[in-house]
């Protein structure tokens, strides 16, 4: 059971009358709207009306903003992702830092930053590659495979720039540093997005949620729940789709698949959001009907 969310029109989910994270029932004026796909990546594609309390929203904002600005900020500018900053106040250039490295890629010295017009800088996306969530397999070792950084850098634009910096500085090997990934913030951001999406589609009582402590920054061990998975085999996904969200299951686990900018060959994620309950099968059937 899975499907792809490949629609651009705004969809608003009615308020559940409670915070979908801490599950406190609150009056409407104490709840705020949630963008299930963060506004910065998906405009208003999926808005969950009055579904987060202000306390939870403040905790989430701390790591979500970090991911959207530090890790994805330059990329978002380059692909012209939506921003609440007015167009005239948005940067028209990007700063890229360079370093000299040895034959093994080990850092030798800082070569400073260069400024590029947005259109001239090579497109670069930084994500994190992960093993499957540990809950997916019985015999998963807890050997602490935390995954590794993953990046896409547009060639040959990047090589041209690197050659220029090498000529200018006399360095033997030049490396370009791109948006650094904070694994912990990024995994929490994936957990939050997956939970909000699952509640939006299945309802707060449509499964037994398990990510609250991770989302509210009270638990640092995330490998059981947040991991990687194989890309969808549903058939070709149109290149213009920037965010894929899908619900699936493994045994009695309910999981959400997430992939950003699949056209760049980016890693797909699987996030276990909870376990099935007596409502899950019917809610998933409803969901599939909605999308058909
Ligand atoms: Zn809350």
Average pLDDT over residues 246-266: 90
pTM: 0.89
For residue 52, the CA-to-ligand 1 centroid distance in Å is 6
For residue 68, the CA-to-ligand 1 centroid distance in Å is 21
Q: What is the pLDDT of residues 165-183, one digit of tens each?
A: 999 999 999 998 877 899 9
For residue 247, the CA-to-ligand 1 centroid distance in Å is 23
Q: What is the pLDDT of residues 227-236, one digit of tens each?
A: 998 666 667 7
Average pLDDT over residues 44-65: 92
For residue 226, the CA-to-ligand 1 centroid distance in Å is 21
Collapsing DSSP states into helix, strand and coil, what is residue 269? strand
- Which of these ranges, 15-24, 32-41, 234-243, 279-288, has the smallest mean pLDDT? 234-243
For residue 17, the CA-to-ligand 1 centroid distance in Å is 11
pLDDT at 291: 77
What are the CA-CA distances from residue 55 to residues 23, 40, 52, 191, 205 (Å)?
12, 21, 8, 18, 22
pLDDT at 39 over 50: yes
Average pLDDT over residues 60-69: 93
For residue 175, the CA-to-ligand 1 centroid distance in Å is 43
Q: Pick the residue with more confidence: 1 or 286?
A: 286
Is residue 274 within 8 A of residue 207, CB to CB? The reply is: yes
Residue 75's region, left for phi above 0, alpha for psi from -120 to 50, else beta, is alpha
pLDDT at 186 over 90: yes
For residue 15, the CA-to-ligand 1 centroid distance in Å is 13
Q: Read off the tokens for 56.
A: 């939870």
For residue 288, the CA-to-ligand 1 centroid distance in Å is 29
For residue 12, the CA-to-ligand 1 centroid distance in Å is 20
For residue 283, the CA-to-ligand 1 centroid distance in Å is 24
Which band of pLDDT confidence, cut at 50, 70 and 90, is reported for residue 7? very low
For residue 216, the CA-to-ligand 1 centroid distance in Å is 9
């Amino acid at each position: 059971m899975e499907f792809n969310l490949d629609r651009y029109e705004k969809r608003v989910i009615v308020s559940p009358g409670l915070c979908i994270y801490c599950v406190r029932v609150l009056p409407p004026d104490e709840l705020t709207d949630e963008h299930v796909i963060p506004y910065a990546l998906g405009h208003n594609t999926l808005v969950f009306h009055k579904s987060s309390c202000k306390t939870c929203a403040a905790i989430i904002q701390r790591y979500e903003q970090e991911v959207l600005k530090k890790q994805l900020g330059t990329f978002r500018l380059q692909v012209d992702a939506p921003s609440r900053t007015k167009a005239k106040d948005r940067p028209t250039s990007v700063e890229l830092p360079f370093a000299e490295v040895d034959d093994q890629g080990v850092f030798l010295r800082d070569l400073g930053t260069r400024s590029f017009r947005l259109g001239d800088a090579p497109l670069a996306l930084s994500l994190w590659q992960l093993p499957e969530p540990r809950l997916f397999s019985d015999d998963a070792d807890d050997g602490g495979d935390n995954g590794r950084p993953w990046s896409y850098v547009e060639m040959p634009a990047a090589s041209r720039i690197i050659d220029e910096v090498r000529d200018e500085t006399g360095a033997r090997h030049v490396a370009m540093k791109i948006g650094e990934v904070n694994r912990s913030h990024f995994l929490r951001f994936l957990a939050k997005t997956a939970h909000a999406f699952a509640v939006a589609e299945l309802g707060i009582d449509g499964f037994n949620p398990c990510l609250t402590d991770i989302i509210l920054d009270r638990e640092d061990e995330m490998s059981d729940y947040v991991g990687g998975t194989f890309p969808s085999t549903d058939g070709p996904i149109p290149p213009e789709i920037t965010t894929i969200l899908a619900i699936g299951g493994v045994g009695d686990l309910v999981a959400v698949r997430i992939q950003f900018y699949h056209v760049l060959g980016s890693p797909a994620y699987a996030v276990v959001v909870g376990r099935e309950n007596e409502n899950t099968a019917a809610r998933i059937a409803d969901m599939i009907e909605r999308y058909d």
